[in-house]
Amino acid sequence: MLLQVKPTATLGDVATIPSSKPETQRAILAATLAEGKSVVRNDLRCLETTTMKEACRTIGAIIEEKDGYLEIQGVGSNFAGNKRVIDALGSGLVFRVFTAITSFGDTPEVLTGDAILRGRVMAPLFDALAQLGANISCVADEGKAPVVNWGGGFKGGRCVIPGNVSSQFITAVMFAAPMAPEPTEIVIEGEILSISYIRQTIEAMEKAGIRIDVADDFTSIVVHPGQYQSADYQISGDYTSSSYIIGAAALFQGTRVLKNMNSQSLQGEKAIIDVVKALGVEVQFDDANDELTLINNQTHLAGDFEFDASDYPNIVPTLAAIGAFVEGTFRVVGGSITRLHKSPRIKAMVSELQKLGVDITPLFKDGVYDGFEIHGKASYQGGLELSSWGDHRIFMSLFIASLRCERACLLEGYADVICSFPDFFKEFSAMGVQFTETEDGNSDLLKQA
């Protein structure tokens, strides 16, 4: 199924940004591990938060979806394993945190995911959990999902995790660690990427009353034994999702008001604000009303830029899409971790943008894709078919790149927006963007828009 995305000359002036996926997923998990009732306000409803809720229900949480918030009756630390299978589908975070916390279940648990997830790197997490005394076996390939966690708990102590593969290994061990009888020290070795996600984990756990000591340089994190407490969580807007709308706003002259946006957020991807400011867009936050105004007086983007994405990996594909339209040199470095995401994201964007005729060259560090350099121009011919590589973020990035082509592009993979941004089409449609399905089939997403 392909989506034909028509070029547009203008872009509307109001959009609502979905709530944060990482914040919602963390709040649901912390609430599940607490005793008593927690509330998660302004939660995101999408496939990957549903996946988190389903996994939490498997271990006994009672989660009710109310209008604008979730009510969660947690299970505390002595949860039932239920001898069930936890299917994380495509969510790396769900697979990784449940692989760690089911160490404390009272029966063995099978954890699996979809074909993409089963191909993703997991070995550093399994190694760290083994160092702590957990008992986990791989069912198919060593170092990969699916696994059986045989339960039996772990004692605590010291484990070592490399800092440049995925911060989710650290998040996973941290969430399980309070249930151990002794403190758990996570030693993080080498370069540490995606630190903003570790900060978000600390924020959610501390809100639930867990004590954590962190070295200033993040090389050591000590999580103390403790019981998660119920809490009231307020979720803010998602900066990665906002990047598609903010990116589009940078490509078209005009003033736009984005709702559900607040400057007080630990999300590293908030850097999208600095990126568009550097490109000449004026930015005004109104935190009292959760609104962000973007004023773009330019018809063309020009200049030389370099951004280090080490702490904001999820907007690397968006930056490639924006950079394609910047006349000058647009460089992004520090994105090596994205090769281990749902697709090899830099390789994917370089390949698809090159099809469009964009002058983009990959940059390598230690033999792996780390960034790109673009010499952009105001527009491209378009009229081509582009692949999302099975990845929602590649689709959404190519969608915004398509808006400034001369002819409509055909994009594959549109259904995947449900992973993180189910109202993607509704928002872009309300801003005047036109798109149509080119093959048979009914999409609720498109009908809704």
Ligand X SMILES: O=C(O)C1=C[C@@H](OP(=O)(O)O)[C@@H](O)[C@H](O)C1
Ligand Y SMILES: C=C(OP(=O)(O)O)C(=O)O
| Residue ranges binding ligand Y (CB under 6 A) | 90-93, 314, 341-342, 393, 420
Ligand-binding annotation for 92, yes or no, is yes
Bridge-based pairing of strands 69-73 and 109-112 is unpaired
Ligand-binding annotation for 367, yes or no, is no
Which residues pair with residue 302 across a beta bridge?
327
Torsion-angle region of 448 (φ positive above 0: left; ψ -120 to 50: alpha; else: beta): alpha
Count of alpha carbons within 13 angstroms of residue 99, beta-carbon side: 34
Q: Site for ligand X (CB under 6 A): which residue of 51, 58, 171, 260?
A: 171
Question: Looking at beta carbons only, is 8 or 314 nearer to ligand X?
Answer: 314
3-state DSSP assignment of residue 53: helix
Ligand-binding annotation for 448, yes or no, is no
Question: Which residue from 112, 110, 106 is spatially nearest to 151, judged by alpha carbons?
Answer: 106
The binder of 420, among ligand X, ligand Y, none, by C-beta within 5 to 8 A per type, is ligand Y
Bridge-based pairing of strands 109-112 and 254-259 is unpaired
Q: Cα torsion for 208, 213, 218, 220, to the nearest 10°?
A: -120
Question: What amino acid is encoded at 359 in this protein?
Answer: D
Ligand-binding annotation for 120, yes or no, is yes
Ligand-binding annotation for 167, yes or no, is yes
Question: Looking at beta carbons only, is 93 or 266 nearer to ligand X?
Answer: 93
Question: Which residue from 237, 331, 198 is spatially nearest to 275, judged by alpha carbons?
Answer: 331
Question: Looking at beta carbons only, is 190 or 303 nearer to ligand X?
Answer: 190
Ligand-binding annotation for 345, yes or no, is yes
Question: Looking at beta carbons only, is 90 or 268 nearer to ligand Y?
Answer: 90
Question: Looking at beta carbons only, is 106 or 203 nearer to ligand X?
Answer: 203
Q: Is 414 in the site for ligand X (CB under 6 A)?
A: no
User: Please, what is the minimum distance in Å from the beta carbon of residue 21 to ligand Y?
Assistant: 6
The binder of 404, among ligand X, ligand Y, none, by C-beta within 5 to 8 A per type, is none
For 52, the token pair is 């988190």
For 429, the token pair is 């449609």
Instruction: Confirm if 184 and 212 have CB atoms less than 8 A apart.
Output: no
Question: Which residue from 230, 149, 131, 138 is spatially nearest to 187, judged by alpha carbons?
Answer: 131
The binder of 382, among ligand X, ligand Y, none, by C-beta within 5 to 8 A per type, is none
Q: How far is CA 129 from CA 77, 94, 98, 176, in A?
A: 18, 16, 12, 10
Question: Looking at beta carbons only, is 149 or 240 nearer to ligand Y?
Answer: 240
Bridge-based pairing of strands 14-16 and 254-259 is parallel
Cis peptide upstream of residue 422 (ω within 30 degrees of 0):
no
Q: Site for ligand X (CB under 6 A): which residue of 8, 24, 58, 167?
A: 167
The binder of 197, among ligand Y, ligand X, none, by C-beta within 5 to 8 A per type, is ligand X
User: Please, what is the minimum distance in Å from the beta carbon of residue 122 to ligand Y?
Assistant: 12
Q: Is 420 in the site for ligand X (CB under 6 A)?
A: no
Q: Site for ligand X (CB under 6 A): which residue of 18, 22, 124, 163?
A: 22
- Stretch 326-365: interaction string toward ligand X, x if CB under 6 A: -----------x----------------------------
Could you tell me which residues come within 8 angstroms of residue 46 by beta carbon, excluding any fewer than 6 positions away? 18, 21, 418, 419, 420, 421, 422
User: Please, what is the minimum distance in Å from the beta carbon of residue 420 to ligand Y?
Assistant: 5
Question: Looking at beta carbons only, is 28 or 408 nearer to ligand Y?
Answer: 28
Alpha-carbon gap, residue 125 to 161, rounded angstroms: 7
The binder of 91, among ligand Y, ligand X, none, by C-beta within 5 to 8 A per type, is ligand Y
Could you tell me which residues come within 8 angstroms of residue 404 by beta carbon, excluding any fewer than 6 positions away? 7, 251, 252, 325, 378, 379, 380
Q: Is 49 in the site for ligand X (CB under 6 A)?
A: no
Q: Which residues are annotated as a binding site?
A: 21, 26, 92, 120, 166-168, 194, 341, 345, 393
As annotated, the binding site for phosphoenolpyruvate includes 21, 92, 120, 168, 345, 393
Would you tell me which residues interact with ligand X (CB under 6 A)? 22, 93, 166-168, 171, 194, 197, 313-314, 337
In the annotated binding site for 3-phosphoshikimate, the residues are 21, 26, 166-168, 194, 341
